[in-house]
Amino acid sequence: MPDSHAPSGQPLASELLEAFDNLNRSLAQFCTLLRQSNRALWIPRRDSESSISERDFACSLIADIWYRDGQDGRCTRSRHGLIGADETVLASAHTLNQHKAAFQQAASRLNAQHLRELPTQLAHRSALLGELLNNQGLGRIHLKQCYRQVPILESTPSRIGFNWYTSGRSIRRLTAEDAMQLLLKLDQSQPHVQIQLARLSPLSAETPLAQLQTQVPVMRANIAWKQDQGWIRQARNCPLPLLFPLAEDSPLPEHNRPELEPPAGRQRAERSDARIDPEPFIPSLRIHRYQH
């Protein structure tokens, strides 16, 4: 059923176009202010990325809202870092985040047909940002990279430790009956599906099972503030550099410099009390049994 914000005959709601224009303007304004800033910043770069200044590179990261040729749409490009900011840059970042949220809300009101048309339609309205960032050839909008918020801290931290988190996984609990219904949606003429149906059939309908999804590695920042009464700590994911207030001529907080690529394999030992059988019971659906 068409959404009232996206009437038939109009490929995109005017609300969405206005939200994208606001997002573009706020990105351009933020990048202008960041380039003019004299506060310290640190963005780790590869050798191939050293042809532009660190400040220009920071702008290109935050304003990176486009698909690249061959990019998997489920993946986003990310990079951690530290950006010290004055009140003007911080205010601009908050405005940018508000416009990101408004654009996401407007896009969520569109139906699937409109979303398929979204990248082409919005590409025509991006001349200002494209020219500003010299992003020729990036003709398709990447919604996940549009939506993600710039991480902002409201006070200057004392210390920041970056670490790759490579052990993440989501666990969805379901019953054998739930698993059977999912399995029946697959092609039952295939031998591997038949084998899994036979394996699942003897279980009672209420037998608990677990569906696992391994998550991509993410960079986590462990942030600490030294207070009179002790340390205050916070941890958060960092797909983009951390932005925080920093006085003029002040150094960046103490921080480490991890490798740009995540380490291979799990970095945390398996829990000795892990109850999920590591061997998949229904491989086609990533479903595992609980150990007894």
pLDDT per position as a tens digit, 19-39: 888 998 999 999 999 999 999
Tell me the two tokens of residue 91: 């205010």
Count of domains in the chain?
2
Q: What is the pLDDT of residues 175-186, one digit of tens each?
A: 999 999 999 988
Distance CA 94, CA 251 (A): 23
Question: Does 114 share its domain with 70?
Answer: yes
Residue type (1 letter), 121: Q
Asked whether the predicted pLDDT for residue 136 surpasses 50, the reply is no
Q: Count the neighbouring beta carbons within 10 Å of the beta carbon of residue 190.
A: 11
281: domain CATH number? 3.30.54.10
In the prediction, which pLDDT does 258 show? 92
Which SS3 state, helix, strand or coil, does residue 107 take?
A: helix
What is the pLDDT at residue 170? 74
User: By residue range, what is the domain housing residue 191?
Assistant: 169-214+275-289
Of 93, 91, 229, 90, the C-alpha closest to 156 is 90
Q: What is the mean pLDDT of residues 133-137?
A: 38
Cα 82 to Cα 80: distance, rounded to the nearest angstrom: 7
Chain centroid offset of residue 50 CA: 24
Close Cβ partners of 272 (under 8 Å, ≥ 6 residues apart): none
Look at residue 257 and tell me if it is in a domain.
no
- At 70-127, the pLDDT tens digits run 655 556 778 999 999 999 999 999 999 999 999 888 777 765 555 566 566 565 555 4
Q: Which of 132, 157, 182 is the last residue of a domain?
A: 157
Q: Hey, what are 100's tokens?
A: 């990101």
